[in-house]
């Protein structure tokens, strides 16, 4: 991956207080990646579609509350957080997921076997499986654009400056400054899961906007691909529960089940660079 400054990690900043809910980011993402429309319907949260899908990688949700000054509207954005040490990378048994030193976490569709271990491992509940293709999909931070020195499509199209893109240290500094200016705001993604390349600035606890509570440090993960190369079987991993210390994955599966009911840098971690 090239185009951005060599050795620099980049990040996306999203400020929930600046988002107008126009969904231009959703449209830009679908347009750039030629993603099909999702069948949807009216729902209590007014999100369209109601949740991330294999072909909706960026989603704007709707939050309203009556305050002393009247009706307050907020539009939280949901997407891959591009973790610094992604659980999905460790979980993939075929090395189909790459963490680039510049920030993006990318699934190589050609290598993906549809095992869904990455879905179980993700603490943010982001990857989505498509039974029609037997593949898993998610936001890739427009790795092609970033490698060419461009901003991600969603950032470039945002009319309210709610989305920004730049060196991670700069974005983190800006995120903390905005949170401080709010008189007690929050920066989601700074410490969650050990740190990410997406910072979400909120004016109230992120969980109140639907963002999952994620510990600063996840259980130590074993690379499933390395384990299988040593002679272990993928099926054996699933049975014994070796995947993320396996109480972690077991709890993730239980939590998900309940929820469903209601530029490549030189330093890369296993995987390829497909869409």
* Residue 138 marked ligand-binding: no
**Is 57 known to sit in a ligand binding site?**
no
- Is 151 annotated as belonging to a binding site? no
Contact 33, 57 (CB under 8 A): yes
142 is in an annotated binding site: yes
Residue 120 in marked binding region: no
60 assigned binding-site residue: no
The answer to the question of whether 122 is labelled as a binding residue is: yes
Residue 10 assigned to a binding site: no
135 is in an annotated binding site: no
Does 256 show up as a binding residue in the annotation?
no
Q: What residue numbers does the annotated binding site for [4Fe-4S] cluster cover? A: 19, 22, 25, 29, 80, 83, 88, 92, 112, 115, 118, 122, 139, 142, 154, 158
Binding-site residue positions: 19, 22, 25, 29, 80, 83, 88, 92, 112, 115, 118, 122, 139, 142, 154, 158
């Amino acid at each position: 991956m090239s185009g951005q400054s060599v050795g620099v990690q980049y990040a996306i900043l999203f400020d929930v207080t600046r988002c107008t809910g126009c969904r231009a980011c959703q449209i830009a993402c679908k347009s750039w990646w030629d993603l099909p429309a999702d069948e949807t319907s009216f729902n209590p949260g007014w999100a369209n579609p109601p949740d991330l899908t294999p072909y909706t990688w960026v989603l704007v949700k709707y939050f309203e509350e009556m305050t002393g000054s009247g009706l307050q509207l907020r539009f939280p954005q949901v997407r891959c957080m591009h973790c610094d040490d992604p659980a999905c990378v460790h979980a993939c048994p075929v090395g189909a997921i790459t963490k680039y030193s510049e920030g993006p976490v990318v699934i190589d569709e050609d290598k993906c076997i549809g095992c869904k271990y990455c879905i179980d491992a993700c603490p943010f509940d982001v990857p989505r499986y498509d039974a029609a293709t037997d593949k898993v999909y998610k936001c890739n931070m427009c790795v092609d654009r970033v490698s060419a020195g461009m901003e991600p499509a969603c950032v470039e199209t945002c009319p309210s400056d709610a989305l920004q893109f730049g060196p991670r240290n700069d974005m983190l500094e800006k995120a903390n400054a905005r949170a401080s200016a709010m008189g007690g705001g929050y920066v989601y993604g700074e410490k969650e899961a050990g740190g990410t390349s997406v910072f979400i600035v909120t004016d109230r606890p992120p969980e109140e906007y639907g963002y999952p509570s994620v510990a600063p440090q996840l259980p130590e993960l074993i690379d499933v691909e390395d384990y299988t190369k040593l002679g272990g079987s993928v099926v054996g991993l699933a049975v014994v529960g070796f995947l993320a210390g396996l109480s972690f994955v077991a709890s993730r599966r239980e939590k998900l089940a309940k929820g469903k009911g209601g530029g490549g840098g030189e330093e890369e971690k296993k995987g390829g660079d497909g869409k």
